[in-house]
Amino acid sequence: VDKAIADFNEAIRLNPKHVKAYNNRGVAWNKKGDYDKAIAGWNEVLKIQPDNKKPKKRIEAAEKAKLEAQEKAKSAALRKQTDEIREKAEAAAEAGNLEGAIAEWKKILDLEKGNKEATRSIAGLEKQISERKKKEAEEAEKKAAALPPKLTVPMIVFFLPVLFLVILGPAAIRFWKMS
């Protein structure tokens, strides 16, 4: 294709009104995926032959192909970006950072509003967080319930004698002073 483009360029240089060279160079650029250069070539044909319908149809087709190529490129870039974020989310979840994983999945939802995988993953992670918090609360309650028996002995040994001294001390001192 590059050789053909070079040949058409040479033909145009030799004859700037060579319609077929402009047209065929446009076809070559189009095949190469350089739609802007193809369209520019066909516009040159229209400058020479304004009533020529072929270049008009080719320009329309090239503009449509250009848009499709741009959409395809956007889609591929979006897919790559979501794949990278998905990997971060999965790594965070695997490391036990469920809140971080949810934050990553929400980034995917910001990019793709209806992403079912992200929605399901967030719901599952929120359920895991809820279960973890419930388990932590149960463990805290068990520790709290075990606290009174653990405090009984230190209270008897350390706290009650001091309390007796504070309460009964003044009474004992008065009793000894009276005697």
Question: What contacts 43, CB < 8 A, 6 or more positions away?
Answer: 55, 59
Q: For the residues 40-57, what does the mean pLDDT come to?
A: 94
Q: For the residues 56-64, what does the mean pLDDT come to?
A: 96
What pLDDT is attached to residue 172?
87
Q: From residue 167, how far is each of 170, 171, 173, 178 by CA, in Å? A: 7, 8, 11, 18
Largest CA distance in the chain: 139
More confident residue, 136 or 163: 136
What pLDDT is attached to residue 160?
81
Q: pTM of the entire structure?
A: 0.59
Is the pLDDT assigned to residue 53 strictly greater than 90? yes
